[in-house]
Amino acid sequence: MLAHGSAAGIEVHAPAKINLFLEVIARRQDGYHEIETVLAPISLYDTLVMRAVGRKESGESAITLDVNVAVGLKQTTPAGRDNLAVQAAELLREQAGVTQGLEIRLIKRIPSEAGLGGASSDAAAVLIGANRCWELGWSVDRLSQLAAQLGSDVPFFLTRGAAICRGRGESVEPLPGLGGWHLVIAHPPDGLATAQVYQQCKVPQQPQRVEDFVKRSEDGRVRPAWRHMHNRLETAASELLPGIQSMKKEFHRLNFLAHQMTGSGSAYFGICRNARQARSLAEVLRSRLPGTVFQVRLDC
């Protein structure tokens, strides 16, 4: 996640992610699921610009959010405290004892309810940006403790590159070696709620293990790794949204190295041999599928 100062404040580019592997290990007593997953950031970004407001001695100031949805992205982004980015700012301010406010301007490009982690990435971006705006000097490890309270994927976005995530997703282990893979992502008009997909998912008696994927991705080559791609949630998501099966059939007809759903859906991605093939297949899918199609690459 890239952050830099600008005339408008602290600007952070918050990437989307894909799940190259996702297995559900067990149901937990706290209502979450124990998982093993491989997350990788991709070159699709929200942009957040933040600026501290109010004087430290003048009492607590407001945290505000202004959202601009990118052209062509049809979605409603929650405002105020319903937005995880605002919750991130409020949590950091409370824990750090800050009285200043924060103005957040969000340019939204990552679809919601897609399994691409947009809300979690935005929340992590706010933790990074607010930390700088308020001159707190908190370490990534310290911010990660707050991130885990906000959502399972938020700690991942505080790191750089791909990672193996365990627990409910908050335990992050860097996975070097991935990078340069070219992808096409299709996002249908309808989204899926993460909690609903997990509720529908059946925990396997013999879960697949992430080690098989990791061993074959160590040198960064696509072909050995894609044979071990897996997403346990895809079956449950397809039962809730039959359009996922329609996307899967279209991807299968084309010459992708591999393809599967990301996260809890509803976005679906395919791995390409190179950028030229990605451009070509993206154009084909735009003519065949409703919704939005993105051509991206792993940002590792």
Q: What is the pLDDT of residues 62-84, one digit of tens each?
A: 999 999 998 778 777 887 889 99
H or E, element range at 3? strand 2-6
How many C-beta atoms lie closer than 10 Å to residue 215's C-beta?
11
- Of 294, 266, 2, the C-alpha closest to 112 is 266
- The predicted pLDDT at position 9 comes to 92
**Low pLDDT (below 70) residues in the chain:** 55-60, 219-221
- The predicted pLDDT at position 30 comes to 86
219 is a catalytic site residue: no
Angle between helices 118-133 and 84-96 (to 10 degrees): 30
- The predicted pLDDT at position 178 comes to 85
Instruction: Identify the residue whose tokens are 């050995």.
Output: 224
Q: Kindly write down the DSSP assignment for every residue of 118-157, as one continuous string.
A: HHHHHHHHHHHHHHHHTT----HHHHHHHHHHH-TTHHHH
- CA–CA dist 53, 102 (Å, integer): 6
66 is a catalytic site residue: no
Active-site residue identified among 46, 108, 122, 153: 153
Report all structural domains of the chain as residue ranges with CATH numbers, in order of start.
Answer: 2-173 (3.30.230.10), 178-297 (3.30.70.890)
- The predicted pLDDT at position 60 comes to 66
- CA–CA dist 293, 31 (Å, integer): 34
Q: What is the pLDDT of residues 132-172, one digit of tens each?
A: 999 999 999 999 999 999 999 999 999 999 999 999 999 99
